[in-house]
Amino acid sequence: MWASTRASRVPGSVFALMDAAKERARSRGLSIVDLSIGSSDQTPPDAALEALRAATRDPGTYRYPLFSDTRPLREAAAAYLHRRFGVGVDADAEVLPLIGAQEGLAHLLLAVTDPGDTLLLPDPCYPPYLGTAAVAGLQVVTLPLLAERGFLPDLGAVPQDLKPRALLLNYPNNPTSAVADAAFFPGAAAWCRARGTLLIHDHPYAELTFGGYRAPSALEAGLEGVVELHSLSKTHHMGGFRVGFAAGDRQALAALARVKGAVDFHPYLGIQQAAAVALGLPDEVGRAGAQVFQQRRDALVPALHALGWEAALPQASMYVWARVPGLTNSVAYAVRAAETTGVALSPGRAFGERGEGFVRFALVQPPEVLAEAVRRLAGVPVQEPEQLLAP
Ligand SMILES: Cc1ncc(COP(=O)(O)O)c(C=O)c1O
């Protein structure tokens, strides 16, 4: 009775189903190997934790933080963007602290769109994109991300007369782990500018890159008409701290600040201080953290190939996206796998129609645990019982 039309439009999550399946496995005495959630198991940098500890001892940090209090974090974010991507931003007008990228996106959509506007977003995609689009009352048009195009969208295939209000992209990508090269964002930004579309780039995996690959920033294509969302959740293992920042087009950020001003205050000052310290750490600190995920990738991908599954070796992110031969119902498969083996994966369908036939592994366990997970999965039938019975 009290659910608004807006709330009712938010799609349900298959993660509740997975949670119930894990619970059933537990009640059968199975140990759970949870690879279904991309929550880093690493600890934040010591220097960031020390800054937070020191802040909690300072009663001056306990008040509501005002915009002027966010200056040190805004300046740290601007310095990070300059050091890492060669992008210059005005720390007063072109950077805004967030309570995580997800909060930032939800409020950004409310700030820059009107109900009924069109949002172009990838399929598959991070599921909350669909929820936040529903909250904002947007018409979603999906861009297929296909293996044969390296899971990059084909903007040239979008009908000429479609002029979306915003295009939402995310590279390194969740769930596919695909990456963009240096030419990608300038091309996407030019496409957006020609159509009067705001380019929103969700960039929480910016530093989780492997080998020689470096993830570009969409802001390298210029700030006008581009907003990028950064997060310390993955890059600095601070997911529970809820902190990130938006940077880019000053009009869009002013609108975001206005909406946020009505809805929330900024993060606790101690968390801002910890985030500012983390952003200022030498790049090697982030690279050492990324290597942990790289080693896990190197353990998992060959084991999946031995099962006959198709998975590219990701150059970034904390996921492996695997196509499972014969898989037609990834949700039923993931529930079955969790119930019978205790191994929890994300079904590809949870990320959109184009995700069917795939599963996503989050690299949040050590290599030997990933190897054990694959051993357990080897015994789980991929096909549905009725398919197995078919002549
Ligand atoms: C693509 C993407 N965007 C945003 C988030 C959430 O980021 P935050 O913790 O900063 O809200 C995630 C978390 O998994 C993600 O994969």
Mean pLDDT calculated for residue range 239-267:
96
Mean pLDDT of 148-173: 97
Q: Which domains does the chain have, with CATH numbers?
A: 5-43+284-389 (3.90.1150.10), 46-282 (3.40.640.10)
State the distance from the centre of ligand 1 to the C-alpha of 324, rounded, in angstroms: 25
- pLDDT for 187 beyond 90: yes
Distances (CA, A) of 255 to 93, 107, 258: 11, 9, 5
Residue 373, Ramachandran bin (φ over 0: left; ψ between -120 and 50: alpha; else beta): alpha
Beta bridge partner(s), residue 143: 122
CA distance readout (Å), 130 to 12, 102, 140, 263, 388: 10, 12, 8, 21, 34
Torsion sign across C-alpha atoms 26, 30, 36, 41: positive
Residue 260, Cα to own-chain centre: how many angstroms?
21
Ligand 1 contact, 346 CB (< 6 A): no
Residues 3-15 have a mean pLDDT of: 90
Using one digit for the tens of pLDDT, what is the confidence trace for 218-242?
999 999 999 999 999 999 999 999 9
The answer to whether 329 and 17 have CB atoms below 8 angstroms apart is no
Taking the C-alpha atoms of residue 235 and residue 278, their distance in angstroms, rounded to an integer, is 9
DSSP symbols for 147-159: GGGTT---GGGS-
Which band of pLDDT confidence, cut at 50, 70 and 90, is reported for residue 13? confident
How remote is the CA of residue 383 from the centroid of ligand 1, in Å? 31
pLDDT at 388: 59
Confidence of residue 14 (pLDDT cuts 50, 70, 90): confident
Quick one: pLDDT band at residue 326, thresholds 50, 70, 90?
very high
Quickly state the pLDDT bin for 272 (edges 50, 70, 90): very high
What is the rounded average pLDDT of the residues 58-72?
95
290-323 pLDDT per residue, tens: 999 999 999 999 999 999 999 999 999 999 999 9
Q: What angle do CA 319, 321, 323 make, to 5 degrees?
A: 165
Residue ID of nearest Cα to ligand 1 atom 14? 38
Ligand 1 centre from 298 Cα, in Å? 24
85 pLDDT more than 90: yes
- The whole-number average pLDDT for the span 377-384 is 90
Query: Which token pair is 18?
Result: 């997975």
Least confident range of 103-112, 133-142, 272-281, 286-295: 286-295
Confidence grade of residue 391 (pLDDT, cut at 50, 70, 90): low
Residue 310, Cβ density class (10 Å: 0-12 exposed, 13-18 middle, ≥19 buried): middle
pLDDT band at 17 (very low <50, low <70, confident <90, very high): confident
Q: What is the pLDDT averaged over residues 328-339?
A: 95
User: Among 40, 96, 102, which residue has the most ligand 1 atoms within 8 Å of its CB, making it the best to mutate?
Assistant: 102
Condensed to tens digits (0 to 9), the pLDDT of residues 92-118 reads: 999 999 999 999 999 999 999 999 999
Tell me the average pLDDT of the chain: 95
C-beta neighbour count of 117 within 10 angstroms: 16
Kindly tell me the burial class for residue 107, based on how many C-beta atoms sit within 10 Å of its own C-beta (0-12, 13-18, 19 or more).
buried
Q: 239 C-alpha vs ligand 1 centroid, how far in Å? A: 9
Q: How far apart are CA 88 and CA 17, in angstroms?
A: 45
